[in-house]
Amino acid sequence: MIFRSWAEIDKKQLKKNLENVYYFAKKDIFAVIKADAYGHCAKFLAKILQKYKYIKKFCVATALEGKELREAEIKKDILVLGGILKEEVELFKDYNLTPVISDFSQLENTKGLKKIHLNFDTGMHRLGFYKSDIKDIVSFLKENNISVEGVMSHFPSADIDEEFTKNQIKELKKILAILKIFHINPKFTHLQNSAGLVYPCDFCNAVRVGLAIYGEKPFKNYPINVENIMSVKAKVISIKKLKKGDKVSYSGTFIAPRSMYIATVSFGYADGLPRNLSNKGYVIIKGYKAKIVGNITMDMIMVDVDSFKDKIKEGEEVIIIGKDKDLSITFSDIAEMSGTIPYEIMCGISKRVKRFFK
């Protein structure tokens, strides 16, 4: 193995996660594979996912992400959640992408496209039309002969705010009723994300799921059983002995309390390990927990291996994220320690970390 840091993506666990999500949601799935499938390599993942019948579409954030999938011979519908800008119109046509439209300026750019989805703002205030826009939307669509294949909204707080989320569901229901008066009856209505799957939505017939497919639970006690499909690994590249009082790494923030052994591991913040885990995070080597000592550097970390130094050697595999027997480190664990969310850690695993599907 020539790579010093790599990620292994477990196809069997992917299948389990998907089946558990589908069994729970009982609706068509739009697999959200934006940002290179949250760092999991969108084109390989999409190849695997496209054989599942209940995966009806893929969702990406930008037209260029859609283009990349088409170039990898992904045939299923691709929904571009971030809409369509003027300079992207040709991309949408050339690569058969479907935009989600959220405002009148973007609506202008849909002339000549076959179908679109409409996004309504039910409380997030990031993107989306308001209910009061419907009349004008409908006249534009009629004039330009554009059909609405789907209608959606998005939950910003399904993991923490039940009342807010339930109101959003009610609001979208009202929107659909108004659209119906104008004879707009979309084939797909989609609202729920991973966290939102726990809210019943009887008028929705598809769900947009990202996080749960990758095996992270959006909140504690999430009722769907999923596990990380990606484990992230590196190598011991050197083992060294410290004397009492020796300082480790940049700025010398770790001072050896006694004579001890540390290992230098080929994984740093340029690979995606947040630097604020310096002196805080840990890795797993040969079934032992090894604490990060000193500041995390761009390409390497130093870890305390004193209690099992004799069991390891240069080249030893190191688990940055993953599990080994009863020890595990998940994306959530890292996110929690560094004060962020698992999404950010997942899509922050960098290009240097070579992805393998097993």
Give me the residues that bind ligand PLP (CB under 6 A), please. 32, 34, 81, 154, 193-195, 208-211, 218
CB of 289 to ligand PLP, least distance (A): 29
What is the DSSP code (8-state) at residue 76? S
* 156 Cβ contact partners less than 8 Å away, ≥ 6 residues apart: 123, 124, 126
* Active-site residue, from 170, 241, 250, 280: 250
Residue 275: Cβ within 10 Å count: 14
CA distances to 7, 170, 214, 327, 351 from 10, in Å: 10, 38, 10, 18, 18
The nearer residue to ligand PLP, 88 or 299, going by C-beta atoms, is 88
Distance CA 284, CA 328 (A): 8
Q: Residue 240 forms beta bridges with which residues?
A: 262
Distance CA 338, CA 331 (A): 11
What is the DSSP code (8-state) at residue 111? T
- Radius of gyration over every alpha carbon of the chain, rounded to an integer in angstroms: 24
Q: Mark whether 250 is an active-site residue.
A: yes
Instruction: Render 175-208 in DSSP notation, one character per residue.
Output: HHHHHHHTT---SEEE---TGGGGS--TT--EEE
Q: Mark whether 130 is an active-site residue.
A: no
Distance CA 7, CA 229 (A): 10
Strands (E) located in 218-316: 230-242, 247-248, 254-255, 260-265, 282-285, 288-291, 301-304
Nearest partner of 173 among 136, 146, 202, judged by Cα? 202
User: Residue 314 carries which side chain, given as an amino acid letter?
Assistant: E
> Which residue number is nearest to ligand PLP in terms of Cβ?
210
User: Residue 345 carries which side chain, given as an amino acid letter?
Assistant: I
The nearer residue to ligand PLP, 208 or 235, going by C-beta atoms, is 208
CA distances to 64, 90, 138, 214 from 128, in Å: 21, 23, 15, 27
**200's tokens:** 């019943």
What is the DSSP code (8-state) at residue 1? -
Active-site residue list: 34, 250
